[in-house]
């Protein structure tokens, strides 16, 4: 009777996802449909146990939080630069490019700073995979299924020492804002989405104070 040798997690290689181009020979890419199935089960699981919309969002966010903490360590390790981010702008760039690339295969579509509030930033994604296959019924109102991703962002920022409150919003896409090729969504073949996901990141006061002190 033969048994497959189980290797310890500490012996397995971590892979070089940032080194390769799109396709990977080591098979570390997960199909979108597999993710969509698992994610829909996750959402339904929490939906059955949450009593209100905000509780459901909180549950999704805390599910993503643990992922964010681990993704931070993994992406930083794979970058192989032994550098951490200590400044606000650099951690936001790290999130919107490196973390997004590692998770979704592309950079976030834009990173903006709010004009009204100095402590608010927005990361925009035109096609977030967490809500691509989700239709929100009217009685759930403003729920965004991307709460999972905002949990991931919050985990990454908290782990790096920049505590922040991250929320996900669906905002209608303006005419002409989209620069995707005509004919709809090239990834899944679905028609172009009418709304984009905006992740609002609001940093806590002490983070801003510390960053201002470092500026000098």
**Residues of this chain that bind another protein (CB under 8 A):** 8-10, 12, 14, 66, 69-70, 72-77, 82-87, 90, 159-161, 210, 214
Q: How far is the CB of 21 from another protein (least distance, A)?
A: 23
Closest CB to another protein among 75 and 152? 75
- Which DSSP string do the residues of 145-200 spell out, in sequence order? TTHHHHHHHHHHHHHTT--EEEEEEEEEPPTTT--SPSSS-TTT-PPPPSEEEEEE
Q: How far is the CB of 216 from another protein (least distance, A)?
A: 12
CB 75 within 8 A of CB 98: yes
Closest CB to another protein among 76 and 149? 76
Closest CB to another protein among 159 and 173? 159
User: 36 exposed, middle or buried (CB, 10 Å; 0-12, 13-18, 19+)?
Assistant: middle
Run of H or E residues at 68: helix 53-79
Closest CB to another protein among 49 and 87? 87
Taking Cα atoms as reference points, which of 63, 62, 203, 60 lies closest to residue 122? 203
Q: How far is the CB of 156 from another protein (least distance, A)?
A: 9
Q: How far is the CB of 138 from another protein (least distance, A)?
A: 35
CB 196 within 8 A of CB 168: no
Closest CB to another protein among 20 and 87? 87
Q: How far is the CB of 18 from another protein (least distance, A)?
A: 14
């Amino acid at each position: 009777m033969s048994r497959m040798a189980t290797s310890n997690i500490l012996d397995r290689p971590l892979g070089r996802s940032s080194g390769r181009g799109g396709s990977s020979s080591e098979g570390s890419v997960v199909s979108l449909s597999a993710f969509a199935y698992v994610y829909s089960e996750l959402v339904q699981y929490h939906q059955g146990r949450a009593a209100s919309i905000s509780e459901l969002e909180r549950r999704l966010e805390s599910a993503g939080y643990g992922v964010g903490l681990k993704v931070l360590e993994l992406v930083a390790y794979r970058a192989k630069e032994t550098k951490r981010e200590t400044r606000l702008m650099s951690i936001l760039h790290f999130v919107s490019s490196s973390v997004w690339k590692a998770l979704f295969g592309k950079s976030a579509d834009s990173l903006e700073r709010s004009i009204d509030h100095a402590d608010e930033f927005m990361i925009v994604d035109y096609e977030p995979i967490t809500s691509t296959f989700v239709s929100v019924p009217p009685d759930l109102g403003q729920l965004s299924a991307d709460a999972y991703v905002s949990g991931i962002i919050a985990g990454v920022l908290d782990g790096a020492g920049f505590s922040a409150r991250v929320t996900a919003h669906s905002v209608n896409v303006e005419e002409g804002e989209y620069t995707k090729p005509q004919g709809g969504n090239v990834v899944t073949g679905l028609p172009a989405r009418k709304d984009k996901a905006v992740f609002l990141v609001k940093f806590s006061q002490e983070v801003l104070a510390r960053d201002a002190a470092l500026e000098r």
